[in-house]
Structure formats: C-alpha cells, structure tokens
Chain A
Amino acid sequence: MKKALAFCVLATLAVPLPGSGPYSPVRVNFARDDRYERGRSLFAGEVKMGDGTYCAACHSKNIPLDRKKLQSVQPDLQRKVEDCIHNPDRVNGTAKQSDMEALAYYLAKRYRL
C-alpha cells in the first residue's frame, strides 16, 4: 500500500511540465512604414501643404487616379507631384523634399506601380 502511494506521489510530481521555458504570447506590432503613412496623410489632406486644396480632393473624384495613368508618368512622377503642389489653382503650397518623396512613394505603393 505504501509503495503504491509512493508511486502515485512520484508519478504526480515527476510528470514533465511544459519544460519548454516560460510561455510567451504573440507580440505583433502593427505599423505601416513611416514614409507610406506620411505620404498618405499628405495626400488625404490630414497634413496641409498649402493654401489651396489637397491631393485627394481632386484625385478622388474630379480627376481620379488609376494605375494605368500613373504608370505612364511613373518616371516623372515626383516632378508631377511637385507641379501639383506648386500650382496656385491646386495645392498652392510647398513641400519638403522628403514629403515629395513620401507622396510619390505612397502613390507608387497605393497603385502598385
């Protein structure tokens, strides 16, 4: 009887526990890259670049952008973006070089150029 009891205690205590170390939950840090986010916020008008309108105001409805159209101007995309920003009838503003790049980067990614 004592042997059986001892065996039961031993069996209970000696069962392998996880043993694979401390459990660690999945940690996912959702974050789009900064350049994309900057370009998106400039395009959507969340960050103002000038006294006029913002990119999405024209390019969402009146002059919608599409992949084909953008592909045809892709080599010159950044200059086109600059023209749009400087045009008094459009954005009528200025943007830093990094913002220009961010806008072009956003468009390239958004429309899979």
Chain B
Amino acid sequence: MTFFRRPAVAILVLSAAVNSWAASPWLPAPGKLTVIETYSNDTFTHYYPGALRGTLPAPYDQFTFTTDIEYGLRRNLTLDLETGHTKTFFRGNTLGGISDSLIGLRWQVHNGERVVFTVRGAGIIKGTYDLTHLSNFSPGEKASGGLGSGILGVALPHNFFAFAESGYRIRSHPVPQDFFGNVGGGYHIKGFAFTSDYQTSRSINGTDIRGTVPKFAPPYFVAALFPATKKIFGAVDSGIVYSLRSGLSLGFSSSTILHGRNVGKKQIFAFSVGYTFPGRGPHF
C-alpha cells in the first residue's frame, strides 16, 4: 500500500514489468521511440475453479503500472521492452514487486499495401514479487521463458482495420505452456482509434482442479501448485486511443473475462499515456 501512497517512489520503480502477450503487427518507423505508461486495475469476485463457478468472500484486486518501450530499429524491425510494477490485494493481504518483463523483437516479413504480417519473439524475465504457497493472491507466476507469435494486420476500406495473432509461450517448470491468440478490429478517424477484440490464452498442460470441490491434500491439488495450474480464459477487450500530432497519446481500455478454467472472472480497466519521439511526420 505504501507504494501507492508515494508517487515519487512509484515513478522510480516504473521500470518494472507486466504480462502483455499481444502485440501490434504495424511497426513504428525506423528511429522512432515510443514510451507508454499504463495504469491498470484487475478486479474480480467470481472465479472458475476447474469446471465450477465460485465466489470469493471479498474482491481480489491487482494494481499495475506498466512501461512499454518500442523502438524502430529498421523499417521492418522493432525492439520492444515491457516492464512494470504490480501489487495484489486480498482481504488485507498484499504481495507485490517487479512483474514478469518482456524484451523482444518484431520483424515485419510482409508489408503490402493493405496486409502486413509480423513475426515476434520475446524473452520473459521473471519478476521480483513473492509467490504465496499458502493462499491465492500471487501477482503472477514468477517464471522466465519465451514466446513466439505471428501477427496479421489488414487495412480495410473506410478507415477500418483488422488484426489477429497466434502464438505459443514456454516458461520454466512447473508453469504450463500456453497457446495464446486474439482476433479483432478497429476504426480510426482524426486521431482517434477504437479497437475491440477477443483474446484467449490456453494452457496445454499443467495441473487442473478436478472434482466437485477442490481437494487440497496430496495426491490432489495443493496450494504450492498455484504456478503450475492449467489456466484457460477468453476475454473481450475494448479500447480507445487519441493521438495528437505532437506525439502524445492518451488511451483507455476495458476488458472482461467471459469464460475460463482455473481463473478469476476479471474486470480490467487501464489508462495509458504515451509519447513518441521524434513525433509524427515523415522519417525516412
């Protein structure tokens, strides 16, 4: 809690991390540097233990500051860094620290008039937060690894556009491997961009919770297995970004987890402020 009461300290630790698995198929021009600061709040009371539904006695909250940096190395190559600081709150308990960070490259292998296709690879560096093996509010899985994906972008007539991503993520044992992806569309006009998409992540292995009630004793599920839990979710995101000619951008997005397994039915709100150096305009 102290972290959020001290803005100065908060700014100092903004160089920490967040789990954003999705990325844009459109790349910044070479030499352009964009920095985006995002503040997000995840909250839920309902959750899906295995195939069941449950309700927590109190809401679970997670607050995260994220810093995203992208730099156009070449016309078809971009360097990405994502890091942040996250903190969870549940019934008076709290855990926090630098969240899992990403550093990666996006390579645009096709850049047509309307269609772009980009491949992405990123390394995941585990965060500094503590994991709890006794309760249920760890800020993440604290695991290093890597991910790879292919991202498609299509410019449609009348200022519409569409995008889709499909990827695979591998992290250190015992965290399961995941397939992830999204498909969505958007509309842009006069500096405003509206997007909406469906996003999913599906563990292909890991420990599931079975039975009518979770069993927390060997050989069944035990609390220490939290990071190893198989997780599946599908969510819908909606967002709006306003970009000024100066390079400044302001964004808001909301997301809802619609269905899942071994996950919370989260509601997420995020505010972002970004700045692009050296600003918009021809740069070639």
A interface with B by C-beta (< 8 Å):
10-36, 38, 98, 101-102, 109-110, 112
Contacts and interface: CB of A to CB of B under 8 A. Distances in A.
A34 B283 contact: yes
A109 B112 contact: yes
Which of B24, B57, B254 has the most chain A CB atoms closer than 10 A to its own CB? Answer: B24
B99 to A, nearest CB: 6
B268 A19 contact: no
B262 A22 contact: no
A102 to B, nearest CB: 7
Interface in B10-29: 18-29
Interface string B130-142: 0000111111110
Nearest to B239: A25
Interface of B: 18-29, 36, 40, 42, 44, 47, 49, 54, 56-57, 60, 62, 64, 66, 68, 75, 84, 86, 91, 99-100, 111-113, 127, 134-141, 153, 155, 161, 163, 165, 182, 184, 186, 188, 193, 195, 197, 199, 201, 209, 213-214, 216, 223, 225-227, 229, 231, 233, 235, 237, 239, 241, 251, 253-255, 257, 262-264, 266, 268, 270, 272, 280-284
Contact of A21 (B24, B141, B253, B257): B141
A38 B282 contact: yes
Contacts of B64: 22
Given A15-B47, A16-B262, A22-B42, A30 B186 contact: yes
Contact of B255 (A10, A25, A35, A109): A25
Contact of A14 (B84, B136, B227): B136
A112 B280 CA distance: 26
A15 B253 CA distance: 28
A27 B106 CA distance: 14
A19 B141 contact: yes
Contact of B223 (A12, A14, A32, A98): A14
A21 B86 contact: yes
Contact of B268 (A25, A33, A102): A25
A91 to B, nearest CB: 19
B214 A14 contact: yes
Given A16-B209, A16-B226, A30-B186, 12 more contacts: A11-B213, A13-B91, A15-B209, A18-B263, A24-B21, A26-B22, A28-B186, A30-B155, A30-B163, A33-B27, A33-B111, A102-B284
B266 A25 contact: no
Contacts of A25: 20, 22, 199, 237, 239, 253-255, 268, 270
B19 A112 contact: no
A95 B132 CA distance: 64
B135 A13 contact: yes
Nearest to B262: A16
Contacts of A102: 282, 284
Given A23-B42, A23-B255, A31 B26 contact: yes
Given A28-B26, A28-B195, A33-B29, A22 B19 contact: yes
B28 to A, nearest CB: 7
A15 B60 CA distance: 12
A26 to B, nearest CB: 4
23 contacts: A12-B57, A15-B49, A15-B214, A16-B225, A20-B201, A21-B140, A22-B66, A22-B84, A23-B42, A25-B253, A25-B254, A26-B22, A26-B184, A26-B237, A27-B23, A29-B26, A29-B241, A30-B24, A34-B282, A35-B284, A109-B113, A112-B112, A112-B113
Given A19-B229, A22-B64, A28 B209 contact: no
Contact of A20 (B26, B141, B197, B214): B141
